[in-house]
């Protein structure tokens, strides 16, 4: 089945994305159990040093979840044996505020969405995912950890850092493979500051279709 058709088929099997109801969110692991979960905000191993999620679940709007499954199907066809490893998915609005308060007034604030802005973080809309690659159950090296606050994680500097020896060819090749899977295979969009972050929608298109959510992760069936 073509990837676009697969995404549409999966989307119609899940609840429709009609606005801000908890039923708009689906558990991605139920659509594709092979996806590797490493949701750091469900542990204290994250930049805040605190556990922010009560459970380790990847929830997304139904069409976005379908896009993610399509990205994995692309990897299956182009790079068998490589799986997507999920670091973060839907993020409740109150958690976004906790993150913002942890970095406000510091240089790290450049990398965290301000919840008082119209968009803030696309994660709170259930329309963004942080993802990397894994093989044999082990995370691959893409040059920096998830949530690395610095230019080494930025897409626009990869060629320079490769030339300077700060990134290896293998690390850059893996980043490119991830982008191809997510953009070409899943229809996601990148952002310049984080190699691991992908949006299903951005800007006005996002605001017109979805609203920010503050549904707890453990409140979704």
The architecture that CATH gives domain 3-215 is 2-Layer Sandwich (3.30)
CA distance 215 to 217: 6
pLDDT of residue 23: 58
The model's pTM is 0.89
pLDDT of residue 17: 39
Residue 184 annotated as catalytic: no
HSE-CB of 4 using CA atoms within 13 angstroms:
2
Contact indicator for 65, 187 with CB cutoff of 8 Å: no
pLDDT of residue 109: 86
Phi, psi of 84 (to 5 degrees): -80, 135
In the chain, which stretches have pLDDT less than 50? Answer: 1-21
Q: Report the number of secondary-structure helices (H) and strands (E) in the chain.
A: 7, 8
Percent of the chain with pLDDT over 90: 83
Distance spanning both ends of the chain, measured CA to CA: 29
Residue from 32, 154, 158, 194 carrying the catalytic annotation: 194
pLDDT of residue 25: 95
pLDDT of residue 12: 37
Which residues make Cβ contacts (< 8 Å) with residue 58, sequence separation at least 6?
A: 27, 28, 29, 35, 37, 39, 86, 89, 90, 129
pLDDT of residue 107: 87
pLDDT tens digit string along 83-102? Answer: 999 999 999 999 999 999 99
């Amino acid at each position: 089945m073509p990837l676009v058709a697969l995404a549409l088929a999966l989307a119609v099997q899940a609840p429709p994305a009609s606005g801000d109801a908890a039923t708009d969110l689906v558990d991605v692991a139920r659509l594709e159990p092979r996806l590797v979960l490493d949701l750091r905000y469900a542990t204290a191993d994250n930049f805040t040093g605190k556990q922010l999620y009560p459970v380790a679940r990847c929830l997304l709007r139904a069409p976005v979840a379908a896009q993610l499954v399509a990205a994995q199907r692309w990897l299956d066809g182009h790079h068998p044996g490589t799986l997507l490893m999920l670091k973060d998915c839907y993020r409740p609005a109150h958690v976004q505020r906790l993150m913002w308060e942890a970095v406000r007034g510091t240089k790290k604030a450049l990398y965290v969405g301000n919840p008082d802005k119209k968009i803030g973080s696309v994660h709170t809309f259930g329309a963004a995912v942080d993802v990397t690659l894994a093989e044999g159950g082990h995370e691959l090296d893409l040059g920096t950890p998830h949530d690395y606050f610095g230019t080494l994680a930025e897409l626009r500097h990869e060629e320079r850092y490769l030339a300077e020896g700060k990134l290896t060819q293998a690390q850059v090749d893996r980043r490119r493979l991830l982008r191809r899977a997510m953009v070409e295979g899943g229809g996601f969009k990148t952002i310049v500051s984080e190699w691991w972050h992908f949006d299903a929608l951005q800007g006005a298109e996002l605001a017109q279709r979805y609203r920010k959510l503050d549904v707890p992760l453990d409140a979704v069936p």
